[in-house]
Amino acid sequence: MGLAPQFLLMCVLLLFAVPALFQWLWNITMPETFGLKRIRYWIAFRLLIIAALLTSGGFVHFNYH
């Protein structure tokens, strides 16, 4: 039972850290390379959700081999 709160906290931290990393990488790469605009945090968050939906079909797939 002691692992569940730590796991939940780690999931929440990742949920907010990954878009921040994506935003940072986008803003240091895309404007200079392709002439695109810089993006804000919530736009990065939405882009990651869209990418996840497009690549997984809206479902999480587990491969058990």
The band of 3, judged by pLDDT with boundaries at 50, 70 and 90, is: confident
Task: Give a yes or no: residue 47 inside a domain.
Answer: yes
pLDDT, tens digit, 9 for 90 and up, residues 17-65: 999 999 999 999 999 999 999 999 999 999 999 998 888 765 655 666 6
In whole angstroms, give the CA distance from residue 5 to residue 14.
14
Q: What does the pLDDT read at residue 2? A: 67
> What is the token pair recorded at 56?
């997984």
In whole angstroms, give the CA distance from residue 41 to residue 27.
10
Task: Give a yes or no: residue 53 inside a domain.
Answer: yes
Whole-prediction pTM: 0.73
Task: Name the residue range of residue 42's domain.
Answer: 18-27+38-59
> Number of structural domains, the chain?
1
Q: What does the pLDDT read at residue 32? A: 94
In whole angstroms, give the CA distance from residue 13 to residue 1.
20
Q: What does the pLDDT read at residue 5? A: 86
